[in-house]
Structure 1
Amino acid sequence: MALDPVLQQIIAQLPVPTSDKIDHEVMRRDMDAMIAIFHGPDGPIEVGSVENMNIAGDGGPVPLRIIRPLTAPTGTMHLLHGGGWAFGSIEFIEPLARRLARDLSMVVVASGYRLAPENPFPAGFNDCLAAARWTMEHAAELGGAGNPTVIAGESAGGNLAAAVALALAEEGRGNFDAQLLFFPAVDLREEAANYPSRIANADPTLRTEILPQLVRDYCGAHNPADPHISPLMSGQLDTVPPAVIVVLEVDPLRDEAVAYADRLREAGVDVELVRFDNLTHGFNNLCALVPAATEATEVVEQRLMTLLARNIRD
């Protein structure tokens, strides 16, 4: 099936890096410029309130943005932005955070983290883990006592969400009720270049050529097979929360995400694998402009609610 024509028109106007050499300053400026596009012509989605705060992390303050729905909250979501571990921000993910808060009636806690290459692993991971612990500790006052908690992320944020959920499971002191992983990167080893979806290089918004530098910058001196870098490599997946995993047929990250879903199922974890063949990497940020992206996001939200209903017991 061909890509959605409205989406094709939009992405043709967006700056997409295609070189294996990344200019971080230019990319960060370009991504900042996309934020207004993500909000759309009608501006930010109305929510109940937006609160900014910082919590303590091992490398300094970790920024949080707490977005409350207009309606009574039915749960709490911790949301992590994508951007190849080197780009993105709370502002970048806020349009999606507002949409999820409205559609799911959840309090969404978006958190920032230190970016590579200036701050390689484990800096960003540690910031996300600190924010996740804070969210879990305050879930009752945020989204209501007894209501579900979800950790979510897209792309690199999906990688971080999966890694944080794994770390919390290893700690054994409480975890989220579910994971929502939009097109996550879960295998950062060199061997990942051999996945057919990487070789196909079919997604116009995420070119395979830029992945090696992004991965090198994020991993630094650490082994990419570390499960906190490549969750697919974990031998303890039976302990992680149920997951909704979103994959796209053209996405170079498709095969590793499908492999992760398979590994989770083999470990006895409940998984909803959601596939789309007419959308590209990052589609959920373009809901304000692309009806097909809105429809797909609503499908994902429903699959999340289905998963929670199966796994949450009074």
Structure 2
Amino acid sequence: MFDEEVAAVIQSLDAGFPRVEEMTGPEARAAIAARRQPVRNPDVVAKTEDRRIPGPGGELPVRLYFPHHDGDGALPVVVFCHGGGFVFCDLESHDGFCRELSARTESVVISVDYRLAPEHRAPAAAHDAYAALTWAAENARELGGDPDRLLIAGDSAGGNLAASACLLARDAGGPGVAAQVLIYPALDPACDSASYRERGSGYGNTKAAMEWYWRQYLPADGAVEPRYQVEPLAADTFRGLPPAIVVTAGLDPLSDDGRAYAAALARDGVAVTHRHYPGLFHGFLTIMPLQAGQSARDLLWHDLRAAAKRGAP
């Protein structure tokens, strides 16, 4: 079903990934941070810059990545929302990925350090993602970017936030987005699809962990209106949303979340590029040394460059 390299990574995740469902949010955050590896590609971008921008809960930290760029033209701008179950990870956890994203797509990347659960429950993180998207559109030219070539991307929980931000932008009348890039997104708090039932354990990420993440993120009464701010699949319609690039993995409990969203978008006339990797697992794309992840990233960079070239619909 999968090669030796992939099997070894899955075995390592099963054996060594913290049992977050047995921890508090801060304990899980510390356990994940302790596993962090040094960034291996610091020089692939020209520079980075940490800033604080206006957010709905106060100042919102972001990290800007600027690629090596010889031309005079404005660059695409990509807002990136990191994964981490809405509970952990930050600007540092996805630093290497964002550097490669900026370098390989020749884009200004804005990584968002959104508010984390359980201290800040839904829809706080979605509102932070939308605030960053709005700020990016308003400040793109100052950053050397093109506001007409604005994308938003995220992995796992970050994919949820990217999708939610696009729904918020549509209903608020802007900003315009060239593409939403959803990398094995977490979209359905029910955690009861076929992929959850069939691959809920034994492949790194687990159903038990996902249920715990959602318990941390959802308000105590579960009420969020409009519901799509926490569960994008619950939107009444997907018409008017930006084109989507959706990445799913066959060994991922979340696989059906991404598949269902890609299908829902397509049914409502949204252009969708769906890249499915049957023999890969949740998180594979941001494991930088993994050869299968590099091959998939190469294709993702191609898809992002094409989307940025087309610009906002």
- Check whether the contact 1:283–1:293 (CA below 8 A) recurs between aligned residues: yes
**What is the TM-score with the length of structure 2 in the denominator?**
0.90
Alignment pair present for 1:131 and 2:125: no
Q: Equivalent residue of 1:68, what SS? A: strand
How far does the alpha carbon of each residue in 1:76-126 deviate from its partner, in whole angstroms, 9 at most, with x for none? 000001100011101111111001001000000001111111111122222
Question: For residues 114 and 121 of structure 1, what CA distance do their matches in structure 2 show?
Answer: 10
Q: Which residue of 1 aligns with 2:119?
A: 118
Q: Which residue of 2 aligns with 1:210?
A: 209
Cα distance in 2 for partners of 1:266, 1:203 equals 33
Q: Is the 8 A contact 1:186 1:256 kept in 2?
A: yes
Quick check: 1:66 aligned with 2:64?
A: yes
Greater Cα shift, 18-27 or 67-76: 18-27
RMSD of equivalent CA atoms = 2.2
Tell me the distance in 2 between the aligned counterparts of 1:143 and 1:153: 22
Q: Deviations over 1:104-151 (max 9, x none)?
A: 000000011111111111222222221111011112333533651110
Aligned match for 2:45, one of 21, 44, 47: 47
Kept after mapping to 1: 8 A contact 2:177/2:312: no
Q: Distance in 1 between matches of 2:93 and 2:100?
A: 13
Q: Deviation at 1:186?
A: 1.5
Distance in 2 of aligned mates of 1:313 and 1:283: 29
By how many angstroms is 1:278 displaced? 2.6
Look up the SS of the partner of 1:35 in the other structure. Answer: coil
Distance 2:88 2:255 in 1: 21
Q: Secondary structure in 1 aligned to 2:93?
A: helix
Question: How much does 1:45 deviate?
Answer: 4.4
Contact 1:248 1:275 in 2 (8 A): yes
User: Which amino acid in the other structure matches residue 279 of structure 1?
Assistant: L
TM-score when normalising by structure 1: 0.90
Report percent identity of matched pairs. 30
CA contact (8 A) 1:52 1:63 kept: yes
Query: Which residue in 1 is equivalent to 2:166?
Result: 165
CA contact (8 A) 1:248 1:281 kept: yes
Return the alpha-carbon distance in structure 1 between the equivalents of residues 243 and 4 of structure 2. Answer: 34
For 2:92, what is the secondary structure of its paired residue?
A: helix
Q: Distance in 1 between matches of 2:312 and 2:53?
A: 31
- Could you say which residue in structure 1 is the equivalent of 2:295? 295
Unaligned stretches of 5+ residues in structure 2: none
Aligned to 2:188: 187
Partner of 1:312: 311
Q: Which residue of 2 aligns with 1:263?
A: 264
CA 272–116 in structure 1, closer or farther in 2 if over 3 Å, else same:
same
Of 15-24 and 212-221, more deviation after overlay is shown by: 15-24
Distance in structure 2 (CA, Å) of the matches to 1:300 and 1:47: 18
Query: Amino acid of the residue matched to residue 246 of structure 1?
Result: V
Structure-2 separation of matches of 1:295 and 1:36: 21
Evaluate the alpha carbon distance shift between residue 113 and residue 171 of structure 1 in structure 2; reply closer, same or farther with a 3 A threshold: same
Matches within 5 A, 1:8-157: 8-14=7-13, 15-18=16-19, 20-36=21-37, 39-40=39-40, 43-71=41-69, 72=71, 74-145=75-146, 148-157=149-158
Residues 139-167 of structure 1 deviation map (CA, whole Å, 9 limit, x = unaligned): 23335336511100000000000000110
Report how many residues are paired: 305
Q: Measure, in 2, the Cα distance between the counterparts of 1:196 and 1:270.
A: 25
Cα drift, residue 46 of structure 1: 2.5
